[in-house]
Amino acid sequence: MIHHVVSWTVREDLDRVEVTTRIRELLTGLVGTIGSIRSLEVVENVAYPGKNQDVAVVATFDDLAGLDEYQFHPEHQAAAAQIRELVTGRAAIDWEG
């Protein structure tokens, strides 16, 4: 199982709740479209605002090939392009377990 986490900092000139909602819509909309997604959840930071990032996606895939299918899928690429317009910082980690 591959676990995939990406977190973002919302642009300061945008409403954090609205951006989180939009990111959730964009990414959860991929479930059922990209067959390799085993689970996907968009979560919002609740502690230490200003230190922690604001929103994250937590997803799982059977293997690295499934993660690659997700990463390079045109629908994911379109969602990622929209997300990049809403955020300033990004961090990611992928691990097997």
SS3 9: strand
* Average pLDDT of the residues in 12-34: 97
> Using CA atoms, how far apart are residues 61 and 42, in angstroms rounded to an integer?
15
DSSP 71: H
The model's pLDDT over 83-94, given as tens digits with 9 standing for 90+, comes to 999 999 899 999
Does the pLDDT at position 80 exceed 90?
Answer: yes
Q: Report the 10 Å Cβ neighbour count for 80.
A: 15
Q: Report the 10 Å Cβ neighbour count for 74.
A: 9
The whole-model pTM stands at 0.94
The percent of residues in the chain predicted with pLDDT above 70, rounded, is: 100
Cβ(44)–Cβ(20) under 8 Å?
yes
Tell me the domains of the chain and their CATH numbers.
2-88 (3.30.70.100)
